[in-house]
Amino acid sequence: MVKLFLVEDEIVMRDGIKKHIDWQGEDIEFVGEASDGELAYPMILDLKPDILVTDIKMPFMDGLELTELVKKELPDLSIIILSGYDEFAYAQKAVSLGVTEYLLKPITPAKLLESIKKVQERIETERAGGGEVDWSKEAEEERRQLQKLRLFSTIVMNAQPTSEILEVARELEINLTARHFRMVLLYFGVKGEAGDAFSETRNNFRKALMELLDSLEGWYTFDRGIEGFAILISSGDENECLSEGLKAVINLVSRYPQAEYFIGVGTRVDRISEIRATYYEANKAFSRRFLMEQNRVVYAEEAGEETGKPLEKIDINAVMTNENVRKVLENFLRTGTLDEVEPFLEGVFHSIGEQNVRSMIFLKYLTMDMYFAMARFVNELGGELSALDELCGGIDAVVAEMAGAEEAGEYLKRYLAEVIRLRDNSSAKRYGRILRKALEYIDENFQREDISLNTVSSVANISPNHFSTVFSQEMGVTFIEYLIKKRMDKARELLMTTDLRSSEIAYQVGYKDPHYFSYTFKKTQGMTTKEYRARGKT
C-alpha cells in the first residue's frame, strides 16, 4: 500500500479529492492534508508519503517551492502537480524539479485517480524489484535452465530440424550460427559427498561456474545435475580460446578444498547437425574418469590411445588379487550413464592391455568377475537377477561359449546397460519418495519468508538443480511456480473468509513486504486484493 499526502488551498477542491476517492479500496493510505506548502512541509518530512499531490498556486509557499524543498529531503517521493495555469514556464520548472505528473485544473477526482494509479503501479513495480526476492524472476530463471537442458538433449539427439533448434536457441540467447562447435563435459565432485546429495560447495561452484562461462564469448553451460556440466563452445575463431577457458575453469575448481574435477573434450565440428558427434567424442573422453586419476583434462584424440596404468601381465596369482577393474566398475555402476557404457567398457579393455585380453583364461575370469560385481549391485537395488540373465544370457553359458574379447565385450555391454536402466528406474522411485517429502515440507512451510529452492532441496537432501529438474518433470510446473500458487491460493482463502487487511495477509502467506505481495497478487490473479475481495460481496 502506498501513502499519499494532499496539499490544496481551496477547501472545496481538497474535500472533493479527499472524500470522493475510495482510498482504502484503491490500496492507498491517505496520510494527511494541508492548505499550503509552509504547513505541509514539516508534516511531509514526518509522514514520509510515497506520493505528494499539490497545487501550484498557494499562499505562503507555493507548490513549486514545496517541491524543491521536499525533493532535497525525500528524493524518491513521487509528486503530482495540479495547476490552473496553462503556462509553459510552470511546466518547465516542474519537470526540472523531477515532478512525476503535471495536471491542469479543473480536474475530476476520477481523472486524478487515474494518474495516481499510474504512479502507484510504478512505485509498486520498483519496490517489487528490490528488498525481497523477486519470485517472478526466480521462476523465469528456473524455467530458462530447464529449457536449456531440453535444448541440449534436442541438439545431441539431433531430434528437431535445424531451423527449430536455431529458434529455441535464439530465445535462450545461445548463438548457434558460428562456424565451429565443440562439446566439453565437466565433472565436479567433493570428496566424501554423494553425487546427488545436497552440497553447499557444489551449489557455490555451480553459481561461480555459470558466472565465469557467461563472461566467455560463445561458451554455453548446461547443468546436467548428477551427470555434471556440458559446455558447448560456439565460435568462429579457429583457436576458440579453448586452453584459456579450460585453464579458467580449473583455476575456479582449485578455490574449493577437497574438490576434484575431470574434463572430457570433444573434437571440433562445423555443423549444428554434427554437435551430436562432438558430444559423443567428449563423452568417450569423459568416461575415462572411471579409469584414470581425477583432476585432469582428456581430449577425444587421446581417448583411443593408452590411458591409465595397464593391469599386470598375465599372472594368475596377481589376477586373483587385482581389484582395479572391480573398483572402477563398482564406481561406474553408481554414477555412470547409459551413454557411457560403450566407451567405458572400451576403456576397461584398453587398460587391461592387448596381451591379457588375448588370454582366454584371463578374459573369462574378467567377465565372471565383472558379472558378479553387477549381480551384487542388482541385489542391492532389490532387482531380479534371473530376469536380467534371461534377457542377456546366463554367465555359465556365455563363458562356456566365449570365443574372444568381442563376444565378452558385447555380453558385458548388454548386461551393464540393463543394470544401469534398472538403477535409473530405482532412482526414479527414490526421487518419487523424495518429491513427496518435499511437497509435504512446502505445504507446511510455504508461509515462511526464507523458503526457497535451496532450503527445500536441502531438506530433501538432493542437489537444487537436480531437484528442480525432477520437480518440474513430475509436477508439470517449476518449484517457484508451485510455491507462488500455494501462497496465492492461501491468500485468496484469507481474503474471502477473514477481515484481515492485505498487509496482514501478506505476512501470513510468506511476504515480508506487503507492497510486493500486492504486486504479485495482481500480476498472478489479474486484479487487486480489494477487487478480489469485492467479488465475494456482490
Encode burial over 391-420: b for 16+ CB neighbours within 10 A, e otherwise. ebeebeebbeebeebeebbebbbebbebbb
3-state secondary structure of 452: coil
For 182-236, how does the pLDDT look when each residue is reduced to its tens digit (9 = 90+)? 999 999 988 877 766 777 888 889 889 989 998 888 899 998 887 889 999 988 7
3-state secondary structure of 225: helix
Q: What distance in Å separates the CA atoms of residue 114 and residue 21, rounded to the nearest whole number?
A: 11
Q: What distance in Å separates the CA atoms of residue 349 and residue 356, rounded to the nearest whole number?
A: 9
pLDDT of residue 304: 55
Q: Are 240 and 267 in contact (CB under 8 A)?
A: no
Q: What distance in Å separates the CA atoms of residue 143 and residue 468, rounded to the nearest whole number?
A: 9
pLDDT of residue 433: 83
Q: Are 429 and 169 in contact (CB under 8 A)?
A: no
Q: Is the peptide bond before 106 cis (omega within 30 degrees of 0)?
A: yes
Give whole-number Cα distances, 94 to 54, 440, 503, in Å: 12, 56, 34
Domain map of the chain by residue range? Answer: 2-128, 178-307, 309-445, 486-535
Q: Are 421 and 338 in contact (CB under 8 A)?
A: yes
Query: In which residue ranges of the chain is pLDDT below 50?
Result: 88, 131, 306-322, 538
Domain 178-307's class? alpha beta
Count of CB atoms within 10 A of residue 441's CB? Answer: 16
Query: How are strands ordered across the β-sheet holding 78-83?
Result: 28-34, 2-7, 51-55, 78-83, 101-104
Please report where in the chains the cell 577437497 appears, as a residue. 258
pLDDT of residue 251: 94
Q: How remote is the C-alpha of 199 from its chain's centroid?
A: 16
Within this chain, domains 2-128 and 486-535 share the same CATH topology: no
Q: Are 508 and 494 in contact (CB under 8 A)?
A: yes
Pick the CATH number of 2-128 from 3.40.1030.10, 3.40.50.2300, 3.30.930.10, 1.20.120.1200: 3.40.50.2300
Q: Give phi and psi for 106, each to the nearest 5.
A: -75, 150
Count of CB atoms within 10 A of residue 29's CB? Answer: 16
* Bridge-based pairing state of the strands 259-265 and 296-299: parallel
Question: Looking at domain 486-535, what is its CATH homologous superfamily?
Answer: Homeodomain-like (1.10.10.60)
